[in-house]
Amino acid sequence: MNEKLQVYDTKMQKTLNSLDAELATIRAGRANPNVLNKLTVDYYGVPTPIQQAANISVPEARMIQIQPWDKSLIKEIEKAILTSDLGLNPSNDGSVIRLMFPELTEDRRKEIVKDVKKKGEAAKVAIRNIRRDGNDAFKKLKGTEVSEDEIKDLESELQKLTDKYIANIDKSIDVKSKEVLTV
């Protein structure tokens, strides 16, 4: 791949990775430990991701079990979950925290799918902005040692990259939407 295009390919890949990471944290009715990815607890004065302070398992389809390595963290982890936007109530027995995922209603599923599509649209806009930046940069090459044909080729390759990433975003949105709508 042309090194002039490599920069834009990397930026587009980062946009797609960011979308996929964001979609992984969206709750789909069954327990998914990724919903805890954004949560941190205060561990000896250091904000620490829950995954690094506890053992997380999924013993049942709609339950996540969090077993902190340090029992003194139970209250901190509970507080982090309660203050998050997960909408879950943790229950603890002194050594383990359990998160029960209620069955999602049809309306809630449709809302989540709308949210997934909105995030996908935002990612597409970001990809198109990267394409625009690339095209602007290529136009500035006019009058340099780069021929007009080469500039046209670069623009055409950039459009192919854009199309590829937009298709990948559509695929990610479809997969997540199906996951959310599956009862």
pTM of the model: 0.69
- Provide the number of structural domains found in the chain: 2
The answer to whether residues 77 and 122 belong to one domain is no
Indicate the DSSP class of residue 90: E
N-terminal to C-terminal alpha carbon distance within the chain: 43
CA 96 from chain centre, in angstroms, equals: 27
Angle ∠(111,113,115) on CA atoms, nearest 5? 70
Residue found under tokens 């136009």: 139
Q: 100, 120, 147 — which closes off a domain?
A: 100
The answer to whether residues 59 and 46 belong to one domain is yes
Q: Look up residue 105 and give its two tokens.
A: 């209603």
The answer to whether residues 37 and 54 belong to one domain is yes
CB 60 within 8 A of CB 88: no
In tens digits, what is the pLDDT along the chain, a chain of 183 residues?
678 889 999 999 999 999 988 887 776 666 777 777 778 888 888 888 888 888 888 888 778 888 888 888 888 888 888 887 777 788 888 888 888 877 778 887 888 889 889 999 999 999 999 999 999 988 888 877 778 888 888 899 999 999 999 999 999 999 888 888 876
CATH assignment of the domain containing 94: 3.30.1360.40
Give the count of beta carbons closer than 10 Å to the beta carbon of residue 164.
Answer: 14
As a whole number of angstroms, the distance between CA 171 and CA 176 comes to 9
